[in-house]
Amino acid sequence: MTFKNLFTTSLCILFLVSFSSCKKEVSKKDNLITSIQSQIDSIDGSVAVAFYNLAEPKDSLFINVDEKFHAASTMKVPVMIELFKQAAEGKLNLNDSILLKNEFKSIVDSSLYSMDISVDSDDVIYNKINTKVAIKDLMYSMITVSSNLATNVLIELVNAQKVTATMRKLGAKNIEVLRGVEDQKAYDKGLSNSTTARDLMIIMKSIANEKAGAPKDCAAMLTILKDQKFNDMIPLYLPKNVKVAHKTGSITGVHHDAGIVYLSDGNPYVLVILSKDLRDFDKTTEQLAKISKTIYDYVISN
């Protein structure tokens, strides 16, 4: 074999090896996209998925991330961020106690309405109505057990418009926190809290990256989010040693989960799964939990 032929052959081998390596890497991500899309297609409803690898930002996946969804209880995370923000500004003290009342004004006409214990996920707090409760305790209940009563008291305290304004400063361009929970007149007029998967991803990422407040405040938020009591979606099929700081949300035909997944090696990623128009809530919840597992398997295999 001549030197020229040997050189040409070597270049061809090098090219084929490089091509094979690139093809394998691309195929792994393509396989993830194909797998997730297939799982979404099997669901009777609309789904959005935002996956952002905090250790490797380029390694992300976005499906329907700009589609608008009813925020349900995921909007309680922005309320928590606003509470810490106003506390840092000296406008309130999280250790202070405020009167727990069950009387709120509709944003439509200021008419009064009350929360119904039968449709709230936190029945314990109703025993404390007309007594003083620490703001930090109300905030904890708002996130961990998704207390609607606590949420309405806190939104009235910090102002919904200010919550939305703070989210804009964090880079969440479309989320709207308009009101508290169970304002039927507002709901009938289409005035509901809304979000996109992209915005919730930005919000959760801002907490993980200590951009949502001072480092100690972001750490406190993560501690609360990790104590979430509803774990039937993102964490469901993950190993027990994997910690998830997250917030769920659900109403009729809607089920969401948005959080930060902390792997055993310490490397975290953000995952947001939103769904609406669901025909079978329980079946879909399990299907969405399997999407979380698919992403987890992809991350740990890299």
Sketch the domain layout of the chain as residue ranges.
Answer: 32-301
Mean pLDDT comparison of 3-17, 106-120, 229-243, highest-scoring range:
229-243
Residue 122 is predicted with a pLDDT of: 80
Residue 3 is predicted with a pLDDT of: 45
pTM exceeding the 0.85 threshold for the entire prediction = yes
What is the band of 184 on the pLDDT scale with cuts at 50, 70, 90? confident
Residue 2 is predicted with a pLDDT of: 53
Summarised one tens digit per residue, pLDDT across range 187-221 is 889 899 999 999 999 999 999 999 999 999 999 99
Residue 27 is predicted with a pLDDT of: 65
Q: How many angstroms separate the Cα of 119 from the Cα of each of 98, 156, 246, 285?
A: 23, 20, 22, 20
User: Which runs of E-coded beta strand occur in 226-284?
Assistant: 243-251, 254-262, 268-276
Residue 70 is predicted with a pLDDT of: 96
Looking at the domain that runs over 32-301, which CATH code has it been given?
Answer: 3.40.710.10
266 in Cβ contact with 275 (< 8 Å): no
| Per-residue pLDDT at 48 exceeds 50 | yes
- Encoded tokens for 258: 């948005």
73, HSE (Cβ side, Cα atoms, 13 Å): 28
Residue 6 is predicted with a pLDDT of: 47
**Cα–Cα distance measured from residue 176 to residue 150, given in angstroms and rounded to the nearest whole number:** 19
Summarised one tens digit per residue, pLDDT across range 62-92 is 999 999 999 999 999 999 999 999 999 999 9
Work out the percent of the chain whose per-residue pLDDT is above 70: 91
**Cα–Cα distance measured from residue 25 to residue 22, given in angstroms and rounded to the nearest whole number:** 5
**H or E element in which residue 235 lies:** none
Which residue did the predictor score with more confidence, 96 or 18? Answer: 96
